[in-house]
């Protein structure tokens, strides 16, 4: 099973052009992926630099035939023209998709600090290695405090899912809105975390759980235990970091760690201000 995660900056490359076709070409050149998780996907958002208000979910879906597209809007605001502008994360899966969740993450008031609503998109997929939950997110950039709140929420949701994995359906729940679909404990979490590999937020996310939920492992560290994280931002001067750093991570639960085979980063592309990252499990 191969997964790609990429903050595409609404398709805006280092040349300032929004070009979704370039994003799709880059993905195809990188490999044949079962799951594609994208952050900063916009719909009808004319205010974004370089954008003409594309429906990027529709464009990406059209360019990924055979995939089920799942979109979670973190920002959903009026566009001033009678419509809505949306900004969030997407999962494209060619594996069978079960239940899907879109979790708004905490956005505590912090006067004087730029920030925006964030979302965690979760989907159950069935792979040849078994069922698992795929989660993708984009944490707050400006505020460490908000990132910490958001990580606490992600960990709580993971613990809840792990507890639900052992739940047996009841007769009263069959065939209706109360029906319980599988929600396995094993999970893969990816996205633009907006913290450095040395940041305390990474340790917060990787901390053991009390109560039996499987903990998360950092894929890069699991496969390269003695190597510093390869950078995913700032390779091509982006202006928002002083030096190349790793902001884009993939984490897996302990039961999936033994299946890890590869972790790759495309350092060459300039189709976004972030680099695509991918992992392979077998």
Q: Which helix (H) or strand (E) element contains residue 256?
A: helix 254-257
Q: What's the pLDDT at 166?
A: 84
Structure tokens at 98: 């079960």
Burial grade of 82 (CB within 10 A; 0-12, 13-18, 19 or more): exposed
pLDDT at 240 over 90: no
For residue range 79-118, list pLDDT tens digits in order.
999 999 999 999 999 999 999 999 999 999 999 999 999 9
Superfamily grouping for domain 2-167+180-281? Endonuclease/exonuclease/phosphatase (3.60.10.10)
Three-state DSSP at 60 gives helix
Q: Rounded to an integer, what distance in angstroms lies between the CA atom of residue 75 and that of residue 116? A: 8
pLDDT at 25 over 80: yes
For residue range 252-272, list pLDDT tens digits in order.
999 999 999 999 999 999 999
């Amino acid at each position: 099973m191969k997964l790609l995660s990429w903050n595409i900056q609404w398709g805006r490359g280092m040349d300032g052009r929004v070009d979704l076709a370039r994003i799709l070409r880059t993905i195809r050149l990188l490999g044949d992926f079962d799951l594609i998780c994208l952050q900063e996907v916009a719909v009808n958002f004319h205010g974004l630099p370089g954008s003409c208000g594309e429906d990027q979910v529709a464009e990406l879906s059209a360019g990924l035939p055979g995939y089920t597209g799942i979109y979670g809007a973190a920002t959903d605001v009026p566009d001033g023209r009678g419509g809505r502008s949306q900004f969030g994360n997407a999962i494209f899966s060619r594996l069978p998709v079960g239940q899907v969740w879109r979790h708004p993450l905490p956005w505590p008031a912090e006067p004087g600090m730029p920030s925006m609503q964030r979302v965690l998109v979760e989907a159950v997929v069935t792979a040849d290695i078994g069922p698992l939950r795929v989660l993708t997110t984009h944490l707050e950039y400006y505020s460490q405090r908000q990132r910490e709140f958001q990580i606490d929420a992600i960990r709580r949701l993971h613990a809840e899912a792990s507890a639900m994995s052992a739940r047996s359906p009841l007769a009263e729940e069959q065939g209706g809105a109360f029906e319980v679909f599988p929600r396995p404990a094993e999970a893969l979490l990816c996205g633009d975390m907006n913290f450095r590999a040395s940041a305390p937020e990474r340790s917060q996310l990787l901390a053991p759980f009390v109560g039996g939920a499987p903990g998360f492992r950092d894929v890069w560290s699991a496969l390269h235990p003695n190597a510093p994280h390869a950078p995913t931002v700032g390779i091509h001067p982006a202006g928002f970091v002083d030096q190349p750093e790793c902001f884009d991570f993939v984490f897996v639960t302990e039961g999936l760690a033994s299946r890890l085979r590869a972790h790759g980063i495309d350092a060459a592309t300039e189709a976004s201000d972030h680099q695509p990252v991918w992992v392979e499990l077998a």
